[in-house]
Amino acid sequence: MKKILILVAAAALAWGFFALGLHQYLTLDGMKAGLGQFEAVRSASRLTVGLAFCGV
C-alpha cells in the first residue's frame, strides 16, 4: 500500500510540474533568460543581491 501511495504522489508531482509549465525553465533557453534577468537585477542593485546571497 505504501508503494502505491509513493507512486501516486510521484505521478501527481510530475503531472503538476508539466501542467504548470515549469519544465520550460529547465531548458537551455529558459536558463539563459533567467540568467539575463538575474544579471539585470544584480547590476541595478549590487548591495541588495549581495545581502540576499549572504542571508540565504
Domain boundaries of the chain, sorted by first residue: 23-56
pLDDT(56) > 90: no
Dihedral angle sign, alpha carbons of residues 23, 26, 32, 38: positive
Report pLDDT digits (tens) over 12-51. Answer: 999 999 999 998 888 999 999 999 999 999 999 999 999 9
What confidence score (pLDDT) does residue 48 get? 92
- The rounded Cα 55 to chain-centroid distance in angstroms is 19
Q: What is the pLDDT of residue 12?
A: 97
CA distance 18 to 49: 30
